[in-house]
Amino acid sequence: MRCMLIDDDIPTIEVLRDIIRWNEYGISRVMLAHSVQEAKMIYEGEEPDLIICDIEMPRDTGIDMIKWVRDQGYDGAFIFFTCHESFEFASTAISYNADSYLTKPLDKPKLEAALHRSIESLKRRRMLGEYRKLGLTWLKNRDLVEKSFWKDVLTAAISPRLDLIQAEIRKRDIAVSSELKYQLFLGSVDRHDFDNRWDVSTLLYALSNFCSEMMLERPNHGRVISYPAGNRIYTAVIFEAGTERNKVKADGENLIRLCRQYFKCSMTCYISEEYSIAELARTRDELESMDVSNLIFRGSLHFQSDQFNYDTSEQYMLDTRHFTELFVQKEKVQIVNRLKKELEQLAAQNKLDPATLHSIREDFLQVVYALLADNQIQAHKLFSDDVAQRLYQRSDSSVFDFMKWAHMMTEVAIETLKVTLRSEGVVERAKRFIHQNYNQDLSREDVAASVFLTPDYLAKVFKNETGLTIKEYLNEYRIESAKRMLIESSASIGTIAMNAGFDNISYFSTVFKKLTGEPPNAYRSKHK
């Protein structure tokens, strides 16, 4: 430990340094300061464990020193000595947690006694501080151990037998009763409601803490578990039986509102009946199944006793012929409105279950793909981007997600049809693609893919408009490029052939002579 002595009287401070056997108190270094300003400079370079300070000094006083170090967060020992007894000085010193207040001339036994009390007090405070840190660590680990236990219970990682669960409770030494009944609260959000800035682990942590504070009034509670399942993220909260049902309901509704406000997502919540601890894994499965079948009541709270019973006595079939006619007529607004109206009618009649929504999606997809195929448009390339794939994956999760997907499909399909039916536009786009990529290894299939057409159909349209095949047009453009390079550069014939997109110098020379009437070398000599 280190000690700092502060006094403007140099002989006094040196005597004080020499009369005490500091090593007997565990002090290995004694620093001297003759003013508060000097003491502050020493303190900032090397913080002492004990300060012994005169109160009355020129400029700043010892009281100023103790105020300053306490403001820095200093928790070390502090002993004052002074020439005059003063209640005001003493009371101020005590208010700043000074350990002792001694009067001059210093009495060695009293000083040693004060030193002993201060050092022991400091050791106790620091030990309690370490215990406090260990206590907080234990509390944190206790929550983690309990969270792990409840996760294992809910996922049936611990076999749902009461004796095995009791053994795990004893093994993990947690305050959980296997004799009580429990109520499960389950919050569900679609992970696609969140933008790509959220990775799954961060999202799980955020939702777990948010639900923990809202439902149990402190973060990271051991009875709150967030976990992913398919396209959804669930947060489970376990309540002991007897928890006021109306309070859980009110907290859940508030949670839904705040998730919409702060996370910009829609949460759907479920509250189970009361069950034994061994039945919680089955209860979680039932609530998740209830959530999957819930297509039209998202963003609200439901009890386990609520039933989403759908009338599936008659199988619904989409009128594909009518939708095909609307697509042919390019009636984008009518397509989306008609689809929306049919879904609303099915929902009102309680007939819109997951299987029905899935069949509607597949029938609608069939209409779009058939129409694109009739117009020689390759649909798999048209809808291969990440946005289209993501919308498709979400489209049978809810009516809202289905309509977003259907709107995108309608918009892209009809706009592509409009462009395709203007054959001039297609040929010009194909030409631009060739101009931009002529020096690459291009095939007829590559050019066709760039305009979302089949190779045969594009070849027919291209020949009709230009009088050339795609290969002939590509070679003519490559030779025009090579002619410029032969005149403007001194590169070898082989390099120019490669830069123009030919991988064979012999073939390049053959094509060049066919289109120009002379070989590359002769052309260069003539026009250079």
- What are the pLDDT digits (tens) for 469-498? 999 999 999 999 999 999 999 999 999 999
Residues in contact with 222: Cβ distance below 8 Å, sequence separation at least 6, in sequence order: 142, 143, 144, 145, 146, 147, 149, 150, 174
Choice among 83-97, 99-113, 264-278, 286-300 with the minimum mean pLDDT:
83-97
Amino acid at site 305? S
Amino acid at site 147? K
Average pLDDT, the chain: 88
Distances (CA, A) of 38 to 4, 147, 341: 11, 53, 83
Which residues lie across from 29 on neighbouring strands? Answer: 2
The pLDDT score that the predictor gives to residue 424 is 55
- What are the pLDDT digits (tens) for 424-453? 578 888 998 999 899 999 999 999 988 888
What's the start-to-end Cα distance of the chain, in Å?
90
Nearest CA among 483, 489, 473, 488 for reference residue 520: 483
State both tokens at 349.
Answer: 């009649």
pTM: 0.51
Q: Are 3 and 22 in contact (CB under 8 A)?
A: yes
Task: Give me the phi and psi of 178, to 5 degrees please.
Answer: -85, -10
Collapse the DSSP code of 465 into the 3-class scheme (helix H, G, I; strand E, B; otherwise coil) and give the result: helix
Chain Cα centroid distance, residue 267: 17
State both tokens at 229.
Answer: 């399942």
Distance CA 501, CA 518 (A): 19
Region 409-417: what's the mean pLDDT? 91
The pLDDT score that the predictor gives to residue 394 is 83
* pLDDT over 80 (residue 127): no
The pLDDT score that the predictor gives to residue 196 is 66
Dmax (CA) of the chain:
119
3-state helix/strand/coil string of 44-72: HHCCCCEEEEECCCCCCCHHHHHHHHHHC
Collapse the DSSP code of 301 into the 3-class scheme (helix H, G, I; strand E, B; otherwise coil) and give the result: strand
Region 361-365: what's the mean pLDDT? 94
Region 220-232: what's the mean pLDDT? 89
